Amino acid sequence: MIILATIAAGIPGAVLRYLLDIKLIAGLGTYFPWSTLIINSLGCLGIGVLFGLQQNYPGIAYGLEIISFGFLGAFTTFSTFSLQWMLMMEEHRIIKTVFYIAASVILGVGFTVSGWYIVI
């Protein structure tokens, strides 16, 4: 049952990620992986909010874990981030690569903490 619930939560996360990626790429282009950076940052904000809710309302922790693993797991993607920085390195775009890695970590942590603080 838990697996089915996680799958059900993952489907809209994956679809939303795809649609948002298309929109962001159309608006921002592909010279820099802005879409992955933005989507992963939003996912971090979401997991921060869910973690804060879980702390404040322990009775709903089970449902929030399914949303975290299912929806946010399908919405965000570390593998895309990893591939994109590797490809930038192969193209010798060192400064952009370092910026992308730093921005991903800083924004990811920052948005996670911000999401948590929103609900505590």
pLDDT of residue 63: 82
* DSSP symbols for the chain: -HHHHHHHHHHHHHHHHHHHHHHHHHHH-SSS-HHHHHHHHHHHHHHHHHHHHHHH-GGGHHHHHHIIIIIIHHH--HHHHHHHHHHHHHTT-HHHHHHHHHHHHHHHHHHHHHHHHHH-
Supply the pLDDT for residue 5: 93
pLDDT digits (tens, 9 = 90+) for 8-54: 999 999 999 999 999 999 999 999 999 999 999 999 999 999 999 98
pTM of the model: 0.89
Model pLDDT, residue 64:
87
